[in-house]
Structure 1
């Protein structure tokens, strides 16, 4: 907001100890660009410049990923019922007079808290909104709650699309602790959403002067977008202060920078003493006999201004969310979604991926080779010799030429697998897989290799009786025809012992013609 209009908010830095790889904002593409329990009310610093969320140009995906918490008791047959803000404030202050600075009077005041997606079925909110599954059960989370929805001021009805309504399946983690200032909840929804989740900081720290924004349901209103705010104090270890306009209902909402990266969770706001109580949203002014919006002219010395507290999310849940976003993109073939989350490239080799299934394997299963190639650029250098051999064996067993091309581009060693009894080339010869024998030789595989019994490739080929393969290997390394194995047998003798009499005679003639 304006320099003279600072509302201080405390923001927990998201998982500052999670990852050693820095998230470089200079490389970030602006994305598409994308009554409250247990809280104190908040308000506006300077003129109220909140706007309708759907009018936030370039932030449509973010609006779609933001939900509001609504009591199940307020919903009947996919219709929600709510007082308007005018009615709600009139009942609270016992007057129908309003100052011009009170906005959105004819809109419904339905919501309790705000939350936002960080994975297809993982939603983050404030701990004072939801802490246990028992807290969550009386509520649903409604997406696309904007002022474009119909609201009948006579019947108080708001039709809801059931596809926009989600219940909570599990509280993955939650905390509400005044001593530690923790105030967060991470919820798993009962079904996945196709909405694009918010991305979030995983390393480094927010700095003073960083522009920040929020989307939420102030006083239960349809989603509003508040911008023009900035970080004014980033010195505390696990929170920062910023100047965002917010009200009750904004709790749990996302606070994100101008690139769209989540910096934290909005949980409290500034208050002032009015009418014998602390308030930060609306108050009754006797001089005009009317209701006004609380307006702070300065952030300094404001009671409760260390507000808009935003807490960190446990690192293990951030890792899980990144993994699930990528898995969702791979499974559904969403290249642009994959690109969004592939910026967290360390996830490809993270222990979580090793324990829950490598994303490269999932990409191969789904035949998403473009995504696989992107992951391979990061992961391949970390593969052990045995892992590279396993990948090579998989490629050959599935006759996957596309994958083989990708591996060649990474410079895979054709004889990878020093711990194996046979090289990939020897295995291909034993299987009489002439096509792959040729490919492996072309890739630099050792055609003079021998096994523990001193059998060369012609010995192995003779055991298959495949003359096409025998001819290829003889043309490649003709001297092999004269080589005996440890038992003193020439390749032709192996063919005879295997019952291939014609092949035996053919190879014997081949040897004598040298």
Structure 2
């Protein structure tokens, strides 16, 4: 559940933080087929390029940072969630607690409830390349040059079931990953195709296509049938042209019990409540 990512938060430490209540629903779910893919399985060159500019948010306590290499430590997904044997990715480790994307040379966009305070930010590392790049090879280390720290919370906003986003200034500019394109004007339409890239339940990067916009009636967010979980919070949601339409923030329940173990909650493509995505145009005044 996403609330666990914020249990140790200390709200109110930054004037750039706006909080109004807590989102009531922050979990995620599978809609229709499970479309999640590891990076090595993704054939689309565009989707691979987009994934290259996304980050895992990982607590510093899960990293051993060296001069050249940073080691990543975590439990397996199966152990963390008492998964049934039928669940995918059970033997992968889940070090991340949220997701983000590069929207300026030194700025990461994520969900506001992922980084609520200066302390949260100081304890978080923003890691590029936390992905399964070859079948069966766990990403237990990355180059230390791919690990960034928080320099400043530019703006963080959590407005109940409304807007939910944060912009984080990094400790240095990113020079080896491209800044992602964001929608500047207008709005996404119902039925538009979407792709989400992030870290469901903290797992290495997953790319999930095959989703569509279900509702656009709310001014600050839209609703889509994205295959996502806790940990995906902060994930960039892209249109078919690779432009960011929004930031994934909340949705339906992740898991349900099946006997003594848990399985993913599944809905039809048009069922359940859908997943809320803060419109990317909400961040533009702060970039």
SS of 2:221's equivalent in the other structure is: coil
Partner in structure 2 of residue 190 of structure 1: 171
Q: Render the CA deviation track for 1:141-164: whole Å, top value 9, x for unaligned.
A: 1111101389998xxx91221011
Question: Among 104, 113, 125, which residue is 2:89 paired with?
Answer: 104
Deviation at 1:207?
0.8
Higher relative contact order (CA 8 A, sep 6+): 2
User: Is residue 2:66 matched to residue 1:85?
Assistant: no
In structure 2, distance between residues paired with 1:264 and 1:294: 23
Partner in structure 1 of residue 61 of structure 2: 73
Partner in structure 1 of residue 14 of structure 2: none
Partner in structure 2 of residue 137 of structure 1: 122
In structure 1, distance between residues paired with 2:59 and 2:283: 27
Deviation at 1:309?
3.0
In structure 1, distance between residues paired with 2:223 and 2:109: 20
Partner in structure 2 of residue 291 of structure 1: 262
Q: Render the CA deviation track for 1:302-349: whole Å, top value 9, x for unaligned.
A: 3xx25333244333334xxxxxxxxxxxxxxxxxxxxxxxxxxxxxxx
Partner in structure 2 of residue 217 of structure 1: 199
Structure 1's 87 and 207: CA in aligned 2 closer, same or farther, altered over 3 A?
same
Structure 1's 177 and 238: CA in aligned 2 closer, same or farther, altered over 3 A?
closer
Equivalent residues in 2 for 1:131-280, closer than 5 Å: 131-148=116-133, 158-178=140-160, 181-194=162-175, 195-270=177-252, 280=253
User: Is residue 2:5 matched to residue 1:36?
Assistant: yes
Q: Which one is further off, 186-195 or 46-55?
A: 46-55
Question: Among 38, 43, 46, which residue is 2:32 paired with?
Answer: 46
SS of 1:237's equivalent in the other structure is: coil
Structure 1's 178 and 291: CA in aligned 2 closer, same or farther, altered over 3 A?
closer
Whose helix proportion is higher, 1 or 2? 1
Structure 1's 152 and 309: CA in aligned 2 closer, same or farther, altered over 3 A?
closer
Structure 1's 167 and 151: CA in aligned 2 closer, same or farther, altered over 3 A?
farther
In structure 2, distance between residues paired with 1:170 and 1:54: 33
SS of 1:70's equivalent in the other structure is: strand
In structure 2, distance between residues paired with 1:232 and 1:209: 6
Deviation at 1:36?
3.0
SS of 1:199's equivalent in the other structure is: coil
In structure 2, distance between residues paired with 1:68 and 1:264: 17
Whose strand proportion is higher, 1 or 2? 2
In structure 2, distance between residues paired with 1:83 and 1:150: 19
In structure 2, distance between residues paired with 1:212 and 1:68: 20
TM (norm. structure 2) is 0.83
> Which ranges of structure 2 fall in alignment gaps of 5 or more residues?
7-21
Deviation at 1:175?
0.6
Q: Render the CA deviation track for 1:417-447: whole Å, top value 9, x for unaligned.
A: xxxxxxxxxxxxxxxxxxxxxxxxxxxxxxx
In structure 2, distance between residues paired with 1:147 and 1:120: 25
SS of 1:136's equivalent in the other structure is: helix
Partner in structure 1 of residue 9 of structure 2: none
> Which ranges of structure 1 fall in alignment gaps of 5 or more residues?
1-34, 91-96, 271-279, 319-514
Q: Is the 8 A contact 1:151 1:158 kept in 2?
A: no
TM (norm. structure 1) is 0.48
Deviation at 1:184?
0.5
In structure 2, distance between residues paired with 1:141 and 1:290: 32
In structure 2, distance between residues paired with 1:106 and 1:126: 27
Partner in structure 2 of residue 316 of structure 1: 285
Deviation at 1:298?
5.5
Structure 1's 309 and 190: CA in aligned 2 closer, same or farther, altered over 3 A?
same
Deviation at 1:99?
4.6
Q: Is the 8 A contact 2:103 2:109 kept in 1?
A: yes
Q: Is the 8 A contact 1:62 1:197 kept in 2?
A: no
In structure 2, distance between residues paired with 1:243 and 1:298: 6
Structure 1's 281 and 306: CA in aligned 2 closer, same or farther, altered over 3 A?
closer
SS of 2:5's equivalent in the other structure is: coil
Deviation at 1:281?
2.0
Partner in structure 2 of residue 337 of structure 1: none
Q: Is the 8 A contact 2:40 2:134 kept in 1?
A: no
